[in-house]
């Protein structure tokens, strides 16, 4: 009987020490600091439209991820994105290329500002400006 009590005590202690993996929270904010309506259309590695987001002038779009497995960049699965200004002027960015837009390449995490807040919280920001629109105009 003593052996069973000791075994149960050890088993209970073992399971009490096991912690669940905490959830990582990642927020990606995309700001439109221009006077233009911006639509970002992203395409997957298989060249299939993955997602699209509309950001009105002087507004922002937030992508929030709550993940058990850690930090994951949602747009990281994309190989290209079309940045569409006012439904008429567009600029295409590719994952593996430098962007000529002053704000950088939205598909590259290193072009975002921010980063790790604490062990389980990340905050990133990307901003489009009027200069991005003017640069896109040059490439039409």
Q: How far, in Å, CA of 39 to CA of 55, rounded?
A: 6
The sign of the torsion formed by the CA atoms of 117, 81, 96, 71 equals: positive
How much of the chain, in percent, has pLDDT values that exceed 90? 44
pLDDT tens-digit map of 41-96: 988 877 777 788 999 999 999 888 777 655 555 656 778 999 999 999 999 999 88
**Stated pTM of the model:** 0.78
- Output the pLDDT for position 15: 52
Give the residue from 110, 44, 42, 37 showing the smallest Cα distance to 81. 42
Under the banding of pLDDT at 50, 70 and 90, the label for residue 6 is: very low
CB 24 within 8 A of CB 51: no
């Amino acid at each position: 009987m003593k052996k069973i009590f000791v075994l149960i005590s050890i088993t209970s202690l073992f399971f009490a020490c096991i912690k669940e993996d905490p959830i990582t929270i990642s927020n990606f904010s995309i700001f439109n600091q221009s006077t233009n309506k911006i639509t970002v259309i992203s395409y997957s590695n298989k060249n299939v439209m993955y997602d699209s987001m509309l950001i009105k002038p002087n507004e922002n779009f937030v992508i929030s991820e709550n993940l058990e497995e850690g930090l994951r960049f949602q747009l990281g699965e994309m190989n290209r994105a079309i940045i569409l200004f006012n439904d008429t002027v567009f600029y295409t960015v590719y994952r593996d290329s430098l962007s000529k837009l002053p704000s950088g390449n939205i598909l590259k995490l290193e072009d975002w500002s921010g980063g790790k807040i604490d062990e389980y919280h990340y905050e990133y920001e990307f901003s489009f400006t009027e200069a991005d629109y003017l640069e896109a105009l040059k490439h039409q």
